[in-house]
A and B are shown apart, each in its own frame.
Chain A
Amino acid sequence: MRITNGMIAGKYSRNLNSAISALDYYNNRATTLRRFDKVSEDPVSAAKAFRLRRAYFENDNFHNNTSNAENQMLTAETSMRAINTTVQEVATGDIMKAVTATSGLDERNIIAAKLRKTMESIVASANTQYGDKYIFGGSDAKKPPLTIAQDGTLLYRGVDVNTGKLVNEDGAIAKVGDFKISFGEDNGQSFNGYTINIINDPASPVAFGDAEIEVATNTITVNLPNGATGQDLQDALQSATIDGVLSVDVSKITVSGDLTKEAKVGTSAISDRVDLNELAKETVYIDLGLGLSVSADGNVNAQSAFNTSIPAISFLGYGMDANGNPKNIYSLLGEMATELEKENFSYERLTSLEDSLKTQSVDLLSSVTELGVRSNFLTTSKTRLEDATYNIKVQINETEYLDAAEAIMDFKLQEYIYNAALSMGSKVIQPSFLDFMR
């Protein structure tokens, strides 16, 4: 092949350029120790690196959540143990054995005062906070869960722990959209078990802006035109017609909330009571990386997350037992104290209450134990997450970073190649025939 001087020079300068760009590449690798800076250099590893980074962030979140939950559970455990200790003192009979069928009123008053002190300490412990959260409030951590009504009954989030009655409400209530509808204290329990339907239906027998109470089917139907507000809803209800016999004063029905807002269609049951069973089983989940699975309506798969909720009534008890005694420990202690303070007290009644308390205290103890198991699970989870984080870090290192020795070796080799190419330069640009012409 015929070779010209230009061809040699051109090829040499191209080769020198590729040698220096390789030098730049290896220099970059040796100084950053990264396998790649651009996804396009190694798309497969980059995809893996992205996934690992996400996993790292995620694990970090889980670890945070676990630590928080662990601390919260520890606080809860301390409070519950305190409650348990005071309750067991009464239940095991240490205090009560001083009372016999023939004990005098003064003697009994002293014991009663002791019981009332115990009751106070239970409420104080159950209203413990972790940070600014009330930990025994179930799904409401902002307000102290236990309060005492004026008549001395214990309320859990405004609900009578023995009956489930909404003590602070103005009679039976319903909630539709953003509005709360109170059916009036004076109307007693007349509306209990009714259902309220707010509709927007021009074809309905109930005209727009009217409400009808149908006694036969226990339904209240309110038909509202488009754009009707909360005020319109209240007006309709206060002028409701009654189909059947029901002695109520509809003018006592009130709607609360921002009455200028639009009233939306919807259905709600009307009741002055709350299902205590539901409240006691309330859950508040946090995500610990157990494969969180939540349905669109908010049902968390119990195995896929950790439940941090410990409603106070779940371990203090609620409702009434077969003997007609309250199941709630506070209420039991209260009734015992009241019985003791009575002039003509019944020892039999006291024993019956004491028996109930014993049963409840066993439940309380098992709740405390169960909490211990839950805390333990958190500790194991934390270890598991720490291990996982370490593994991810190792993998990130393997995927994204180079061995320093290897990187520097590569650089040195390329440096050698570049120097060799440079020294070749003066040899490549050779004198030509012309230099030798006379």
Chain B
Amino acid sequence: MRKLIIALLTLSLVPNISIAGPKAEVLHWWTSGGEAKALQVLKDDFASGGGEWTDMPVAGGGGDAAMQTLKARIVAGDAPAAAQIKGPTIQAYDREGVVSPYSINEVAKKENWDKLLSKQVASHMKCDGDFPNGKAYCAAPVNIHRIDWFWANKKVLDSNGIKMPTTWDEFNAAADKLKAKGIIPLAHGSQPWQDATVFEAVALGIGGNDFYKKAFVDADVATLSGPTMVKVFDQMRKITTYIDDGAPGRDWNVATGMVMEGKAAFQLMGDWAKGEFAAAGLQPGKDYYCQPTPSDTGYLYNVDSFVFYKVNDPDKVKGQQLLASLMMGKNFQKVFNIYKGSIPARLDVPMDEFDACAKKSNADLNAAAKSGGLLPSFAHGMTLELGVKGAIQDVVTEHFNSNMSSQDAVNKLASAVKAAI
């Protein structure tokens, strides 16, 4: 089917002058080793489909300048074909009127994306109506990252007689034991987004799925300031005693390194951490453990996606359609996700070549989708408007890095969210 579309697209270009062809200018953040390699697969596919790819890579950390350029170009009516944008920001761009008339919806219909994607993921990709009730596809998903993972050094855990925790109490007991032996229980970099990553996993575990949904999907102020949230902050306070003095400002991959070296026992991080273990030649189950953080079949996801803006040049429209089709292609979804550590967004990609952690992630995803535990990560911008998300993150990181009481934190949370809405 895909080949047919590519062939049709290519054929349709024949009458045009020689330079014409599908064109796509793509803004993305994938510049590091494995990600860049995986993207090359897409670029090659695109070229063999007759397309002309213009790369707009944004090196890590330079996101500010890129967003500035992106916005300036959109305002000037010269949007790139596709940009790596995810979560509610997709629909926010649509509300500004710079996405319609949804050129890729045609492709999505033809290829029956509704069948290829889970309903949850598909709803994030649709515009023309507010989330989750969009009617037309305007974005293509490339992966599903799981956020609520514990990564642990096997040697450290085994030699201290510690099992991977299945409740937060077990985690606390294990951490106390490790601390007494002079091992850092949790490798952590206290940057706001990392604090929020820990926070959302704790909230999911302690509050449960419904609590998480009310607090971070519906932004319900009563839930955000209720007694369960106080308990969540209590656990966060405990966690602050399990990290070392060097944590503030530390990058996440440095923290992963601490687990690999055995300086620290656990790290709570999304599954991109696996890339660091893989790069050091370590194997899951043999050198390190991967297990979801304690929760009741909860699963926090982050879906990376590309939004396709309104463009006027018919060549660019064709480029967008070709690109969308390739991004959803089985080959790209497989290769890319093996490199990236995530799992395919597309449901029918065989998982044989993936590692044990990815297989577990895939199995848990299906279970969570049935139990209602499949929830969007707020720390990674899959739910809530960016302003509200930022307001919550400010309070979380302020609490984590001071001696604020849980009750004060909860009160602050309520007022910050009210101000941001």
Instruction: Decide whether A and B assemble into one complex.
Output: no
